[in-house]
Amino acid sequence: MSSFNFDVITLFPRAFELINNLGVITRALDKNLIDVNLYDLREYGEGAYRQVDDKPYGGGAGMVLKPEPIFKAYESIQKTTKSKTLLMTPQGKVLKQVDLARWSTLDQIIIICGQYEGFDERIRYLADEEISIGDYVLSGGEIPAISIINGLTRLLPGTLGDPDSLVDESHNSSLLEYPHYTRPLIFKDMKVPDILVSGNHEEIKLWRRQKSIERTLERRSDLISNENYKKSIQSKIIIKENDIYPDW
Ligand code: SAH
């Protein structure tokens, strides 16, 4: 067994082939840091036609995933003591970085993917948490599940080449990350801010912190929920004209 197991119940296991082509995640699979076990819902279907869905009671459009195949698939999964079951649904709690960090201390995540019109309400009974990846509706839970596998795997020790890249990044400590630049120094008249090539590490750190705060206030002030905190960091911002935003 790998150090972290993802067990996924899905009607479209082939969607998870994407995981084998995702750089860091593929490396984690190769290094045996994670295992992704797929449970093809069709194999747990009912009768000669392996039926997994049916029409909704009360009428209405679309098909609904039946409870029996999902329960059967779920019961076939060997659970660890540090395991959580997540149900993918646009009606769930919207996924945040803190959730991924919280789950990264477990050793097993079981993910149930819905399809079509959704799933029989009784499937909710299996879930520890119901998770949405955003306020929009996709056709199935596979892409949400891959998002969770991807986001969580990169937090696991040994996955990223340089674990320091996790420290400053967006959504840690409620702030978006500062802007990055790489060579060349000047590209189409757009110049890298002087401070970043000054070699003054203290100043660079301060500048990055400042940009991080500015960016968050400009784009996602909702991330900084506490009004007092917002005011206190606002007052510390010193915007230097033409520093980062030259005339381009
Ligand atoms: N009729 C349902 C939506 C069904 S979408 C409703 O209104 O709630 C089909 C399946 O795709 C869902 O069961 C869920 O597993 C998945 N899905 C769609 N959008 C999602 C999202 N934003 N986050 C997580 N899962 C989603």
Instruction: Delimit the domains of the chain by residue range.
Output: 4-153, 168-235
Task: Name residues whose C-beta falls within 8 Å of residue 52's C-beta, 6 or more positions apart in sequence.
Answer: 11, 41, 42, 44, 45, 46, 65, 66, 69
Contacts of 79 (CB under 8 A, 6+ apart): 108, 110
Contact 140 CB / ligand 1 (< 6 Å): yes
As a residue count, the chain comes to: 248
DSSP code of residue 190:
E
Reference 34, options 78, 56, 1, 70; nearest CA is 1
Task: Give distance in angstroms: CA of 29 to centre of ligand 1.
Answer: 27
CB neighbour list of residue 19: distance below 8 Å, 6 or more residues apart: 25, 26, 29, 36, 146, 149, 150
Distance 143 CA to ligand 1 centre (A): 10
Residue 141 CA to ligand 1 centre (angstroms)? 6
How many Cα atoms within 13 Å fall on the side-chain side of residue 236? 15
- Rounded Cα gap, residues 191 and 170, in angstroms: 24
The per-residue pLDDT for 242 is 39
CA Rg, the chain, in Å?
23
pTM for the full model?
0.90
By the 8 A CB rule, do 126 and 85 touch? yes
Mutational test site, ligand 1, from 70, 126, 138, max ligand atoms within 8 Å of CB = 138
d(CA 212, CA 167) in angstroms, rounded, equals: 13
| pLDDT score at 232 | 61
User: What per-residue confidence (pLDDT) applies to 161?
Assistant: 81
Under-50 pLDDT residues of the chain: 238-248
Q: What pLDDT was estimated at residue 247? A: 35
CATH class as words, domain 4-153: alpha beta
Of 89, 94, 133, the one to substitute when testing ligand 1's pocket (max ligand atoms within 8 A of C-beta) is: 89
Distance CA 111, CA 73 (A): 11
Nearest-angstrom CA–CA distance, 51 and 146: 25
Q: At what angle do helices 227-235 and 201-219 cross, to 10 degrees?
A: 130
Report the Cα 156 to chain-centroid distance in Å: 13
Helix or strand run (H / E) with residue 208: helix 201-219
**What CA–CA distances, in Å, run from 167 to 84, 134, 160?**
26, 24, 12
Fold agreement between 4-153 and 168-235: no
pLDDT (0 to 100) of residue 241: 40
Question: What CA–CA distance (Å, rounded) separates 174 from 190?
Answer: 29
Residue 158 Cα to ligand 1 middle (Å)? 32
Q: Which CATH superfamily is domain 168-235 in?
A: tRNA(m1g37)methyltransferase, domain 2 (1.10.1270.20)
| Coil, strand or helix at 184 | coil
Q: Which of 122, 12, 8, 14 is nearest to 64 (CA)?
A: 122
